[in-house]
């Protein structure tokens, strides 16, 4: 309870900028929670999906592969489904996979720019609060009151805003770095899945050509 009261006291001493920093910190937490849930719900185990998909592609059972993708509504299956459907319609498999993968990558990167913005904004807000606090501390009214310690004490309180801003920026930076690495791994999985689909499409064309020649 004492720690809570002390934290509230420091919050008020930091000045009005502390409210903006509090909003930034809540924004970072909200983005982190949203991204974790999004990645968990929309991305499946790559190895498991490949183990189920590859035998179907090897046997050219594209209808079964399409049905498999439709049963698993995650990012990898959506990208794969786009390529399989394109192979049946117009044969533009690579274009369909590229378009679907680009869209998926954009969705995976959503909100990461907001974290990057907070990494830059939070320290600036902290410095602004400190400057405002120091201006008040060095005010002529404090000197006239005969309390020289009020100046140094005011500077110490003003630094609360800077410390808070750096803390919020650190939280945003760590979150951004973690999610960026995770997104890079997921994009790599998408590229591997697209390459797997493309590698088996020529087999289908070759099979059709051989069938035509036999006929």
Q: Tell me the per-residue pLDDT of 150-164, one tens digit each, with 9 for 90 and over.
A: 555 556 667 888 999
**Count of structural domains, the chain:** 1
131 has a pLDDT exceeding 70:
yes
pLDDT value of residue 89: 81
What whole-number distance in Å separates Cα of residue 59 and Cα of residue 68? 14
What whole-number distance in Å separates Cα of residue 8 and Cα of residue 44? 43
In which region does residue 139 sit, left (phi positive, over 0), alpha (psi from -120 to 50) or beta (all else)?
beta
Place of tokens 């990461």: 112
pLDDT value of residue 36: 94
Q: Which residue has the higher pLDDT, 155 or 142?
A: 155
Closest alpha carbon to 70 in 52, 55, 58: 52
CB of 93 closer than 8 Å to CB of 107: no
120 has a pLDDT exceeding 70:
yes
Q: Which residue has the higher pLDDT, 198 or 4?
A: 198
Confidence of residue 208 (pLDDT cuts 50, 70, 90): very low
pLDDT value of residue 121: 95
pLDDT value of residue 144: 52
From residue 137, alpha-carbon distances to 18, 130, 158, 160 in Å are: 17, 10, 8, 14
Q: Which domain holds residue 47?
A: 2-214
45 has a pLDDT exceeding 80:
yes
State the average pLDDT for the chain: 82
Neighbours of 206 (CB within 10 A): 10
pLDDT value of residue 180: 95
1 has a pLDDT exceeding 90:
no
What's the pTM value of the predicted model, to 2 decimals?
Answer: 0.79
Q: Which of 19-33, 42-56, 192-206 has the highest mean pLDDT?
A: 19-33
79 has a pLDDT exceeding 50:
yes
């Amino acid at each position: 309870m004492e720690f809570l009261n002390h934290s509230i006291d420091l919050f008020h001493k930091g000045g009005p900028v502390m409210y903006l920093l509090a909003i930034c910190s809540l924004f970072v937490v909200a983005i982190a929670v949203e991204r974790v849930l999004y990645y968990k719900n929309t991305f499946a185990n790559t190895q498991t999906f490949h183990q189920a998909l590859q035998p179907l592609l090897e046997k050219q059972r594209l209808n079964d592969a399409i049905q498999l993708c439709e049963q698993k509504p995650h990012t990898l299956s959506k990208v794969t489904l786009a390529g399989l459907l394109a192979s049946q319609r117009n044969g533009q498999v690579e274009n369909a996979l590229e378009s679907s993968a680009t869209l998926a990558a954009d969705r995976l990167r959503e909100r990461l720019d907001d974290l990057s913005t907070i990494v830059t904004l939070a320290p600036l807000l902290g410095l602004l609060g400190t400057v405002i606090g120091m201006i008040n501390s060095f005010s002529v009214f404090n000197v006239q009151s005969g309390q020289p310690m009020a100046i140094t004490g005011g500077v110490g309180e003003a630094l609360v805003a800077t410390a808070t801003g750096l803390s919020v920026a650190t939280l945003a930076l760590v979150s951004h770095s973690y999610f960026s690495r995770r997104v890079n791994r997921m994009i790599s999985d998408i590229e591997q899945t697209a390459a797997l689909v493309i590698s088996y499409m020529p087999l289908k064309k070759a099979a059709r050509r051989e069938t035509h020649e036999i006929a």
